[in-house]
Structure formats: structure tokens, C-alpha cells
Structure 1
Amino acid sequence: MKKIMLFCFLLTGIFSVNAQNAGIDKEAFAHTFSIVARDTLTGEMAVAIQSHWFSVGSLVSWGKAGVGVVATQSFVNPAYGPEGLALMDEGIAAEEALTRLIEKDEGRAYRQVAFLDATGNVSAYTGEKCVESAEDMQGKNFSVQANMMLNDRVVPAMAETFAMNPDLPLAERIVKVLQAAQEAGGDIRGKQSAALIVVGPDKTDKEWEEKKIDLRVDDSANPIQELARLLKVHRAYEHMNRGDLAVEANDMEKALLEYGTAEKMFPDNLEMKFWKAVALANSGRLEEAKPIFEKIFEQDDNWRKMIFRLPPSGLLNLSEEEIKSITE
């Protein structure tokens, strides 16, 4: 292990000197493995990454709804992200867009970049001075790429895993790809950070709708495991959000279904239990709700105080007597 760490330290120094000679910012150093991919059924596009580098998602991953996704890594030139998306936004296909940027980049020998556009076209580039094991592979609607890997089995394992899981939602599918990369050997330096972005198939002028999923693990001993956990939390809160919308529409049966689904995913989450109980109470099933409220209040009495704040907002439709039966 000490020999590997010394090797990486020396390698970083050597490549930093060479990179400076090529006019490259030596601090933009994010060796990694990544995937860009598109779901042929939904049109969603995604980029996911893992690296032994702090906050890799802040540099490597880029995406724009209805346009495409980009992974820019190795000695990172972040400009490939916004500039690549801008070109693809003009209708320029992924291959041509990437070629244009590579041709004007004096540091291209150190770059590893992948583009995917909204029609599923993919293009990738691995510079000749990327640290081995370095490779990229493309298939229908996806590209996988990696550099500074422990061995040359990582990229083929990623491609195989993506092809073998067509029935999974895109986000879960590409997390599996990251897991396969790690199981095959992963980054020779180890693990530190990971990120996942999913964008929709249609352009939008609403910035808050730009990304359907935007998850980052900036520093962790097991970043892919944590990314998978966060994705599950994200899915649970999608149900919570749909439950909130159902409450707004006074559809308590749907709210109960959505909150209940979320609670099953995270049975120890008090908030999910609370809103399920609220939906039960609003559906005329107060007696079922009472023991749930009681258990919640035992763990955190602030939720009891919350009960009194809901009726003025129309979120709890109970009489004063019924509210007393819950809180006293």
C-alpha cells in the first residue's frame, strides 16, 4: 500500500510538471471513472462518476435538459462542460462538438472527455498522456471511460453492466455501472467522491427544473455506497412530494398511498411516519393515526407542536376535540 501511495505521489508530481509545460492548471486533477448514458424509453440523460479526489462532481459532471451530458476528467478542462453543452444546444451532434473542442485544446493529450447528446449520439476522447489504465468504450446511447485504473478490466465491466440492466431506471442503472467498476478494481488510488446527474429529454427555461436528480458525495470512505443510499432517499422523497401535491388537491387516499410508500422505504424516518399519520387522520381514519402519532411524539415532542400549526394551513382537517385526542 505504501508503495502504491508513493507511486501516485511521484506520478502526480511528474505529470504536474508536464501539465504546466502544456499550459494546464495543475490543480484540475481529477482522474476517475465515469459514464454518460441515455434512457431510450424516457429520453432522460445522465452522467455519473467516482474518483479518489475531493468533490469530483464539482468539476467532472455537466448536464442540460433536452441537450446532453458531459464528463470531463483526467487533467480537467472544465470548459468542456459549458462549451460542449452550448454547442449541442445549437443542434451540433456530440461527435462534432467534442472534435471542435479537442482541436483547439493545447492540453488535449492529457484530457479524457465524453459527450452524449439528446438523440443518443455519443463521442469520447482519451488523450495519449492519460495515466494507464486509461480507456473509453461506446455502445448504443452510452459511453464509459476511465483513467488511472488499477487494471484494464474496469471499463469493459462498466460497459457490460450497462448493457445487462436495461430494465432499471437510468439512475439506478448507472449506479450499478459504478459499482461494477469498483468491483473490477476501480481507481488505483482508492475511493473518495462520487456524483450523479440526471436531466430530462426536453429543454426548459425554468432553471429549477433543469436537473431531475443532482446528487454528490464530496468526501467519503465509500462514495458509491453513499451515492446509492442518497438515490434511494431521493426516490422516497419523490413519493413524499407526490403526497404533498395530493394533500393540496385534497386527495387524501393518494396522499396516504404516497406517504406510505416512502415510509416503507425508510421505516425509521419520523417525517415520513408523521405525514402518513396526517393523511390517515384526514381520511377519517383517526384511530389508526393515533398510535402512530404517539410513537412519533415519544421520540421527538416537536412533532406534537407541529400538529397545532397544521389546521390554519388546511393541512389537518380535524376538530379541536380531535386534535386534543391526539396531543394530550
Structure 2
Amino acid sequence: MRPLFIILCAAFFSFNSLAQLNRPNDPLAHTYSIVARDAKTGEMAVAVQSHWFSVGTAVSWGEAGVGVVATQSFTNKSFGLRGLAMLKAGLSPQEAMDSLLNNDDGKAFRQVAILDVKGRVATHTGAKCIDEAGHANGDNFSVQANMMLNDTVVPTMEEAWKKHSDLALAERMVKVLDAAQAQGGDIRGKQSAALLVVKAEASNEPWNDRVLDLRVDDHQNPVLELNRLVKVYRAYEHMNQGDYFVEKGKMQEAMNQYNSAMEMFPENLEMQYWTAITLANDGKTDQAVKMLQKIYKQDANWRELTKRLPKVGLLEVEDQELKKLLK
């Protein structure tokens, strides 16, 4: 019996060692995520939440006019750039996925989703991803999760994606994350989240091809914070549009945009300040003075900034008006 016992023990430890060798040494990013495309605009996005620090630096990858990738569980970061390069070379998402996993000894531990500009998807959930793990996909989307509290997370994500088709892509993605968290989300809890949105087509200015790139690296409620940041982004879209109208000399249109921004974030002093400066440049000194006085009371540094604007041409008023503005 003793020789047989020794043989069995040797076989067990050999198998266990082999399993350890096959397990990748890549960083962990057990999480839930969605890759998706807006059928109306063609924009593509990745959204993710995890109980892991700075999850957006590992999971989410995207390129305008090409596609998006989510790589998680035992995260192989190279899958992001390599997957995008394969899409760019003309491979389908499934062909790219097959190529990535073909020589990957750790594929049983991987979870990956790839989506291209046509809305085609390929998703892989390895057999050794920690329960609850799974995915669901269809035209223009894929949701995937591992190490979840329960098995309702993935179907709830799919339902949320389909339910909120009336929303803009960024807001729709956050709704999916929120729905997953409401079902229990990551069994370990919450820590970080990220949202990446890229344009449908690449331009000659690649630095402008990312519509949105938000990361909440460490927060008690990262999805809630991500939702707040999307709202801030929308408010600053109004500010940017207002600046555009100022350049075109369309002051009323500019004020409409600035007012929309301030309504979204009435406590934001910068939005109030540049609105006041626009009023001053439009000859509406008294209105500008009223706004600036309230701003100065909260932070006197804005008065100092006002003094500096005439030098660079951002405040073009007579000396008498400038004195009123600095009152």
C-alpha cells in the first residue's frame, strides 16, 4: 500500500503544481463591465466597476473608428492594444478573440469582450473565472462579470442596456453599472469605476477622438461618482458651446448655453465667472457686476483674475467699466 500511496501523492502534487503554473501572474481585475455601441451615433464605449484600485487603467481600451475591448478577471492588458490592432487590420471580433486566446496558457482564467465599429461582438468567460461568472451579448453590446455576489448580475445588466435605449450612450452605460450594483455587484464590494467613449470614425486629430474618458480610482460609491462626473461633463459641454457662440458673436445663444450649464451646477463658481465676463464683454456691465460681487465674496482670487484678463484680451472694457467690475 505504501508505494501506491506515494505514487498517488506524487500525482496529486504534480497536478497541483501544473495548475499553479497555468494560472497567470497578471494583475487581478475581478469585475463587471459592458462594451457597447450606440446604433444612432456609432460611438463605442466601455464601462466598468470593481473592488480594485484604478480598474480603468487595466480593463477598458478603445480607439475611434476601430472598436473597444474589456479585459478582466486575470487581466492580460496586452489584449487591449493587440485586440484593437487586429480589428484595425480587418479581423472580426471573433477572429481577434481566437487569435488572442490561441496561445494563452491562462485563457481559462480570462474574461474578455471585443466590439467593433459594426457592432459585432465576441466574448469569452474562462472556465476558471471565479463564480458567479458569465456574460450575455447581442448586436451592439456585451455584458460580462466575474466574482459577483450572485447569478442575477449579468441578466440584469443586459436588461438595463435594453431598457434605457432612449438615453445617450454615456448615461446608458452608467445605468447598466448601476443596475449591476443594485443586484449586489462584486462580492467584495465597491472601489473604482471607469467610462471610456470613443467616436464612430477616426479623424486627423486623434487627440480629439475620445469623447469621454472618466475614471474614479478610489471611492466609497464609484458608480454614483461616475454618474456625477458625466453630469459635470454635460454641463461643460454647454460651456464649450457657449464659448463657440461668443467667438461667432452670437451673444444670446452663448448666454443660453451658459445658463443651461449653471442650472445644472449652480454652485460652480467658474461657470458663473465666465458667464459674468461674457456679460461684461457684451456691454452688460451692471449684470456682470452683480454676479462678480457674489463670486468675490466666496473667493477673492477671482477678483485678482479679473485684473489679469484685459492684458490677454479676454476682457475688453473701458477703464471705468473695469473699476466697476473689480468693485
Q: Compute the displacement of 1:230 (Å).
A: 1.1
> Which blocks of at least 5 consecutive residues in structure 1 are unaligned?
1-16
Query: Where does residue 269 of structure 1 map in the other structure?
Result: 268
Residue of structure 1 in register with 2:21 after alignment: 21
Deviation at 1:258, TM superposition (A): 2.0
Question: Which SS does the other structure have where 1:187 is aligned?
Answer: coil
Q: Cα offset for 1:19?
A: 6.9
Task: Give the TM-score normalised by the residue count of structure 2.
Answer: 0.92
One-letter code aligned to 1:25: N
- How far the C-alpha of 1:177 sits from its partner, in A, is 0.2
Aligned residues: 312
2:62 and 2:196 in contact (8 A); partners too: yes
* Identity over aligned pairs, percent: 55
Q: Which amino acid aligns with 2:188?
A: R
Classify the secondary structure of the residue corresponding to 1:232: helix
Alignment of 1:194-205 (within 5 A): 194-205=193-204
How far apart in 2 are the matches of 1:127 and 1:283? 62
CA RMSD of aligned residues (A): 1.6
**Could you tell me whether the CA contact under 8 Å between 1:52 and 1:189 is conserved in 2?**
yes
Structure 1 moving runs of 4+ over 4 Å? 17-20
Amino acid aligned to 2:103 = K
- 259-268 or 279-288, which moves further after superposition? 279-288
Report what 2:37 is aligned to: 38
Deviation at 1:18, TM superposition (A): 7.6
Amino acid at match of 1:250: G
Q: Would you say 1:291 and 2:308 are equivalent positions?
A: no
Q: Is 1:131 the equivalent of 2:134? A: no
1:172 and 2:171 aligned:
yes
1:252: how far off? 2.4
Per-residue CA deviations over 1:274-324 (Å, capped at 9, x if unaligned) read 111112222232222221111001111111122222223332232111111
Judged with a 3 Å threshold, the aligned counterparts in structure 2 of structure 1 residues 18 and 157 are, in CA distance, closer, same or farther, namely: farther
d(CA) in 1 for partners of 2:294, 2:97: 57
Question: 1:320 and 2:292 equivalent?
Answer: no
User: How far apart are the structure 1 equivalents of 2:131 and 2:322?
Assistant: 66
3-state SS of 1:99 partner: helix
In the TM superposition, 1:106-121 aligns within 5 A as 106-121=105-120
3-state secondary structure, aligned to 2:279: helix
> What is the alpha-carbon distance in structure 2 between the residues aligned to residue 18 and residue 141 of structure 1?
39
1:137 and 1:23 mapped to 2: Cα distance?
25
Aligned equivalent of 2:208? 209
CA distance 1:18–1:55, shift in 2 (3 Å): farther
Query: Which TM-score applies when normalising by structure 1?
Result: 0.91
After TM superposition, give the deviation of residue 20 of structure 1 in Å: 4.5
Gapped runs of 5+ residues in structure 2? 1-16
Q: Which residue of 2 aligns with 1:95?
A: 94
Moved more, 228-237 or 31-40: 228-237
Contact 2:61 2:70 in 1 (8 A): yes
Equivalent residue, structure 1, for 2:145: 146
Stretch moving more, 315-324 or 195-204: 315-324
1:18/1:172 Cα in 2 relative to 1: closer, same or farther (>3 Å)?
farther
Once residues 306 and 175 of structure 2 are traced to their aligned partners in structure 1, the CA distance between those partners, rounded to angstroms, is: 41
